[in-house]
Structure 1
Amino acid sequence: MTIDWQLLDFGDEGWGGVLLDAATVTVTVSLCAWLLGAMLGSLLCWMQISGGRW
């Protein structure tokens, strides 16, 4: 079994550009989710510590 490494090239015949785009989208979505979770967690923590009517 041989691996055709030319499929990973950047160009018309390869998937390198598509894979790089997919990796960029994955990292962007994960960073946005992390930021949203950090903001929501901080807000809920602040609400619990403040002891208001929440």
Structure 2
Amino acid sequence: MGRKQHENTARRTWWSVPIEAWRRSGLSRRSYCRQRGLDQGTFARWLSVLVDA
């Protein structure tokens, strides 16, 4: 995924929702992604991007 994807406001907003839901869920990242059909690698990258922001 290119760096520009991380600068895209719509993508940042979209990924912030499941990341916040995961934090509140009490589930492991792996379990949360499996239950929601999210790619674990992509989730981890966005988590890193949003935490560093």
- In the superposition, the TM-score normalised over structure 2's length comes to 0.37
Higher relative contact order by CA 8 Å / sep ≥ 6: 1 or 2? 2
Question: Greater helix share, 1 or 2?
Answer: 2
Please report the TM-score for the alignment, with normalisation by the length of structure 1.
0.37
